[in-house]
Structure 1
Amino acid sequence: MTKLSVNINKIATLRNSRGGNNPDLVKVALDCERFGAQGITVHPRPDERHIRYQDTFDLKAVIATEFNIEGNCKEQKFVDLVLANQPAQVTLVPDAEGQITSNHGWDTIKHQNYLKEMVAVFKNAGIRVSIFVDPVVEMVEAAVSTGTDRIELYTEAYAQHYHTDREKAIAPYLAAAIKANELGIGINAGHDLDLHNLRYFAQTIPNLLEVSIGHALVSDALYLGLEETIKRYLAQLN
């Protein structure tokens, strides 16, 4: 079964909008675990507009499932944060400063030498590495050359076109996944996956190890409640 890692950035956004500690980010993470999530994901950014750097230390101290920290490794503060927390996984995302949300994967051909260096930094610390990539076979091939353990397929394009032609929408992801399987690299996925499009994606992509879902899951929880929402997402993956 594909693991569900809940991205709790939006919970932090809500907390920060009023100051204080409501909702309590750590409690929400623990509740997500209690309701069945197999991982917690955070994506701290330099302006700390949602996840604060201190949040990662607070979460690392208490969560029992896999902890995944996403971010741009070109920021030294991010690198230091990951090394200090020793999460199960670090996901390298090529975000620009001030970017609202992730919107593209790494060009693993152009940045291959740099990524090799950064992957080695984290792997030498015993941290599993995943690289955020677009569903392009050549990018998967080049990602393998960096030494990364996994790739995370950026799924916005799939989500945008799912309701129009789901077979066409998933075709490049399937090709990328087949190549990843051939080359022996693990596959994660995330961005705009939801209760409508998740099941088809999970059933079609071979050996999908993990999905990271935040915005849609938190939005659904406003209507369904957090426990019921997590159960429904897990059902899509089972």
Structure 2
Amino acid sequence: MTALSVNVNKIAVLRNSRGHFLPDPLTAAQVAIAAGCHGITVHPRPDERHIRADDVMRIAAALPDTIEFNIEGNPFAHARGGYPGLLELVRASRPAQVTLVPDGDGQLTSDHGFDLVRDAERLAPLVREFKALGSRVSLFVDPDVRDIGRAADIGADRIEIYTEAFARAFAAGDSRKALADCVRTAEQALAAGLGVNAGHDLDQRNLVALIAAIPFLAEVSIGHALISEALYAGLASTVAAYLAALAQAGRTAKR
């Protein structure tokens, strides 16, 4: 079975918009774990616009050993402010997996993978450092990445296929080419001895098609769609709970 890692970044976005403590990414992670997910993903960025370094440490300390902790981030981003740098965060929190992503400060979200022809040599010593800390290393790549074998050559354990193009094509009604690109990359990675993860814009509708095409997919990391769908699925019951609380308060006030 493909493992599900729940990304709780969107919970932190909502919390940070209020500048307070709620909603709490750790509590969200605990709810997801109680529901049966296999892992928790966070993607701290240097500008701390959602998950912060202190969130990483709180979540790392609270997760049971049976739950994989996956930290995503740019290994080339410099430490600043409250962000100590990805390597230092991993050294302090010791996640099971580190997913290296080439995102810059100006990106709203991750929107491309590594160019392994260009980036492999620069990534190699960092991959060794992360692995020395006991973390499995996954590299975020586009579905048309060149020379996937270089990821294995520099010591990476897995790749994560960037699936936005597939998700957009699926929503538009014709995902054949985009899905074929993902399958080709996955098969090449498998042949090179790499595990295969996937993530970005996956949801309940397109996930079935992706896994049917790549049955050996090890893990999917899902945040935006999952949290969005959870708002709808849980909103009615939460409104009902508030109405019940108000009714109970009204009965108590009349006594």
With structure 1 as the length reference, what TM-score do the two structures score?
0.92
Paired residue for 2:242?
A: none
Partner SS for 1:147: coil
Paired residue for 1:169?
A: 178
State the alpha-carbon separation in 1 of the partners of residues 74 and 32 from structure 2: 25
- What is the letter of the counterpart of residue 55 of structure 1? D
State the alpha-carbon separation in 1 of the partners of residues 93 and 77 from structure 2: 16
Gaps of 5+ in 2: 79-84, 238-255
Is the Cα contact below 8 Å between 2:115 and 2:145 reproduced in 1? no
User: After superposition, where does 1:144-163 map in structure 2 within 5 Å?
Assistant: 144-162=152-170, 163=172
State the alpha-carbon separation in 2 of the partners of residues 25 and 103 from structure 1: 23
RMSD: 1.5
User: After superposition, where does 1:3-42 map in structure 2 within 5 Å?
Assistant: 3-42=3-42
With structure 2 as the length reference, what TM-score do the two structures score?
0.86
- What is the letter of the counterpart of residue 200 of structure 1? A
User: After superposition, where does 1:104-143 map in structure 2 within 5 Å?
Assistant: 104-136=112-144, 138-143=146-151
Is the Cα contact below 8 Å between 1:137 and 1:175 reproduced in 2? no
User: After superposition, where does 1:85-234 map in structure 2 within 5 Å?
Assistant: 85-136=93-144, 138-162=146-170, 163-225=172-234
Is the Cα contact below 8 Å between 1:133 and 1:152 reproduced in 2? yes
Is the Cα contact below 8 Å between 2:15 and 2:24 reproduced in 1? yes
Partner SS for 1:208: coil
For residue 137 of structure 1, report the CA deviation from its aligned partner: 5.4
State the alpha-carbon separation in 2 of the partners of residues 147 and 60 from structure 1: 25
Larger radius of gyration: 2
- What is the letter of the counterpart of residue 18 of structure 2? R
For residue 204 of structure 1, report the CA deviation from its aligned partner: 0.8
Partner SS for 2:47: coil
Is the Cα contact below 8 Å between 1:187 and 1:209 reproduced in 2? yes
2:89 counterpart of 1:81: yes
**1:71-125 Cα shifts (integer Å, max 9, x gaps):** 0000241221111110000000001113210000000110111111110010111
Is the Cα contact below 8 Å between 1:177 and 1:206 reproduced in 2? no
Is the Cα contact below 8 Å between 1:94 and 1:106 reproduced in 2? yes
Is the Cα contact below 8 Å between 2:120 and 2:150 reproduced in 1? yes
- What is the letter of the counterpart of residue 27 of structure 1? T
Paired residue for 1:53?
A: 53
| Gap change, CA 1:208 and 1:191, over 3 Å in 2 | same
Larger RCO: 1 or 2 (CA < 8 Å, sep 6+): 1
Is the Cα contact below 8 Å between 1:107 and 1:139 reproduced in 2? no
For residue 141 of structure 1, report the CA deviation from its aligned partner: 2.0
Paired residue for 2:70?
A: 68
State the alpha-carbon separation in 1 of the partners of residues 187 and 76 from structure 2: 30
**Count of paired positions:** 227
State the alpha-carbon separation in 2 of the partners of residues 139 and 217 from structure 1: 32
For residue 45 of structure 1, report the CA deviation from its aligned partner: 0.6
State the alpha-carbon separation in 2 of the partners of residues 10 and 139 from structure 1: 33
- What is the letter of the counterpart of residue 87 of structure 1? P
